């Protein structure tokens, strides 16, 4: 019997997100809209709305829905904002962002992943996404500054390039730590001051690049 993905998304929101403190109504609405199952391999589509990450190839993963929602909510996005995403991956997080802001610029170092993600963006008519293959730890200077920056891979420190490309005021969310475990950190930049807040213990794939892991 075919999976009812709309029902699965609704259950995901009710059972995984709301009980853990995801309260932004727009984030919840988008999480119930974006077809997460289309961003994973066919064989894994029945597991797409489970409370866990899944492999997407090239040694990378799609984050569990709660982490996607938590990072998105932490950015407090608005319809006119520009967002830089580091680590496109399969494109699911990108898709969620695209429905909440004006423009998403996303950088992925692995071309096969970006090709598949771009195919899904086009298929679903998410037209406000601009992407490229590059070293994400260095950001995307050409379109800076960004109102918000999200990093979906973990580095040992906050990349200085990203701090410089963050608008003032602006907000960034990213995992920071060693290769085994990290803290999910929210950085608020305002009037030249930078405030860091830890919101969750997490485990992400490593951020590979000049200002990440070599």
Per-residue pLDDT of 128-158, as tens digits, reads: 999 999 999 999 999 999 999 999 999 999 9
Cα separation, 61 vs 39, whole angstroms: 11
**Does the structure show a pLDDT above 50 at 2?**
no
**Does the structure show a pLDDT above 50 at 58?**
yes
What pLDDT is recorded for position 181? 92
**Does the structure show a pLDDT above 80 at 3?**
no
Cα separation, 164 vs 84, whole angstroms: 12
Domain layout of the chain by residue ranges = 5-202
Which CATH superfamily includes the segment(s) 5-202?
Vaccinia Virus protein VP39 (3.40.50.150)
pLDDT digits 0-9 by tens, 6-21: 999 999 999 999 999 9
**Does the structure show a pLDDT above 50 at 101?**
yes
pTM value?
0.96
What pLDDT is recorded for position 214? 86
Cα separation, 106 vs 90, whole angstroms: 11
Active site residue 25: no
Cα separation, 66 vs 209, whole angstroms: 27
Mean pLDDT, the chain, integer: 96
Q: Which of 23, 25, 63, 98 is the catalytic position?
A: 63
Phi, psi of 24 (to 5 degrees): -65, 115
């Amino acid at each position: 019997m075919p999976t009812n993905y709309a029902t699965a998304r609704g259950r995901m929101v009710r059972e995984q997100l709301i009980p853990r403190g995801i309260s932004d109504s727009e984030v919840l609405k988008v999480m119930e809209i974006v077809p997460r199952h289309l961003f994973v391999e066919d064989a894994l589509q029945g597991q797409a709305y489970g409370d866990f990450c899944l492999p997407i190839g090239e040694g990378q993963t799609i984050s569990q829905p709660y982490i996607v929602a938590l990072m998105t909510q932490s950015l407090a996005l608005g319809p006119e904002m520009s967002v830089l995403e580091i680590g496109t991956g399969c494109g699911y997080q990108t898709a969620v962002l695209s429905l909440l802001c004006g423009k998403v610029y996303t950088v992925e170092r692995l071309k096969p992943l970006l090709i598949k993600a771009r195919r899904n963006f086009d298929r679903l008519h998410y037209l406000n996404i601009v992407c490229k293959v590059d070293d994400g730890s260095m950001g995307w200077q050409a379109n800076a500054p960004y109102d918000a920056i999200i990093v979906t891979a973990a580095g040992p420190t906050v990349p200085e390039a990203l701090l410089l490309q963050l608008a003032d005021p602006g907000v960034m969310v990213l995992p920071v730590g060693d290769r085994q475990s990290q803290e999910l950190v929210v950085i608020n930049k305002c009037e030249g001051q930078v405030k860091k807040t830890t919101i969750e213990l997490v485990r992400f794939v490593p951020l590979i690049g000049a200002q990440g892991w070599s």
